[in-house]
Amino acid sequence: MGGYLYAEQGRSMIRSMTAYALRASEIGDGRLSWELRSVNQRFLDLSLRLPEGFRELEPDIRQLFKQRVSRGKIEAGLRFQADPAAESARLKLNEELAQGLGRLIEELGNYTPGAAQPDMAQLLNWPGLVMQERPDFERERAAAMDLLDDALDALIAARQQEGAAIAAAIESRLSGIEAQVEQVRRHLPEIRSSLEQRFRDRLAALEYPVEPGRIEQEVVLQLQKLDVDEELDRLAMHVAEIRRVIGLDEPVGRRLDFLMQELNREANTLGSKAAVVETGQAAVELKVLIEQMREQIQNVE
């Protein structure tokens, strides 16, 4: 794989997809609160819970999430707790129904002289007698959108904080990969010398005579098949690219996931060329480190 543009390692900007945020605000007629929960998901999957009077905000809310978050399964819930004083102020009597009930009570009294008057508190429970004016919620809806912006700020900050921990774990594994690559590089002269002697001994042990120069040709051919310089170089390139990507101020989870595939491909090739113990052990260690990174990257936005 080629064509990478490498840069010096910068500060990690990656975000985790796991985060939580809670923001609340007092308004004139009550209290608004947003609760946001986010976990990893391949795409953006938003689940909304909105109270009556705020549901018309759903298109604007979804658009805001799309603008600020690219991946993750997010549960977003809005609560509105009305001020009891404001609630009671909206209560009003259904005058037409009250007049009708009063007339019926008076007529009933004509038939039952001396009967006790009905309990007014019980009458208030009569269906439709007490009405509540429906607020327009215009001010509350505007405040809910402003509060959601604050909640998203908190959610993204939490994602970045968790992302910094993920970046530290990735960096630890990248250093481990570099150590394995360096170890194999140090052993390469010894490995080549050992392999060359082994091939010469095998060819020399043949019962039939070998053409002049044939031994050298066979040795060169076999060494080319087992040469791992290219794989080691590509491993180093991928490590540098991962460090560059981690420093980008944009969602990079899918790109990092692809780079894990590239690293794993080089580790597999290195393992398939393992003609000595050192190379085989390095390939196994590389796969372990790559898998540990892959598990971390599954949670990167």
Per-residue pLDDT of the chain in tens (301 residues, 90 and over written 9): 333 333 334 455 899 999 999 999 988 778 899 999 999 998 999 999 999 889 999 999 999 999 999 999 999 999 998 766 555 556 677 778 778 877 877 777 777 776 667 777 777 677 876 666 555 578 889 999 999 999 999 999 999 999 999 999 999 999 999 999 998 888 777 766 766 666 667 666 666 665 656 555 655 555 555 577 888 999 999 999 999 999 998 899 999 999 999 999 999 988 877 666 667 888 899 999 999 999 999 999 9
pLDDT for 242: 96
Evaluated on CA atoms 217, 221, 226, 229, the torsion sign reads positive
Distance separating alpha carbons of residues 213 and 223, to the nearest angstrom: 16
**DSSP 3-state of 104:** helix
**HSE-up of residue 195 (Cα within 13 Å, Cβ side):** 23
Specify the pLDDT at position 216: 59
pLDDT of 132 reads 60
Go through the domains of the chain in sequence order and give each one's CATH number: 19-85+137-158 (3.30.230), 91-132 (no CATH), 162-297 (no CATH)
pLDDT score of 30 = 81
CA torsion sign for 48, 54, 55, 56 is: negative
The dihedrals phi and psi of 119, each to the nearest 5 degrees, come to -75, 120
pTM above threshold 0.85: no
